[in-house]
Amino acid sequence: MYRYSIPQELEKKGIAIRVHSKNLLSEEDPQAYKDAQQAVNVVHNAGLASLVVRLNPIVVVKG
């Protein structure tokens, strides 16, 4: 995914985004991050933590 398409892809998913600089758009690309559920499963299966609850974010504010 290229930077110019990130806002359109997020909008299709119902995600609104506002950034100070277009250079920061790559940080908002969902492909830039690991799957959180996969990371949680690895920690749980290794016995390092217990699953307690699953939360779904409503809004995220960074900065």
What domain range is 15 assigned to? 1-63
**Joined tokens for residue 51:** 């699953």
Q: What is the pLDDT of residue 2?
A: 53
The mean pLDDT of 6-31, rounded to a whole number, is 78
Burial of 25 (0-12, 13-18, 19+ CB in 10 A): middle
Q: What is the pLDDT of residue 53?
A: 93
Instruction: Tell me whether residue 62 is annotated as binding.
Output: yes
Number of domains in the chain: 1
- Determine the 3-state secondary structure of 3 from DSSP: helix
| Residue count (the chain) | 63
The mean pLDDT of 6-11, rounded to a whole number, is 80
Confidence of residue 5 (pLDDT cuts 50, 70, 90): confident
Task: Output the pTM of the full model.
Answer: 0.46
Confidence of residue 18 (pLDDT cuts 50, 70, 90): confident
Positive or negative, the Cα torsion across 51, 53, 56, 59? negative
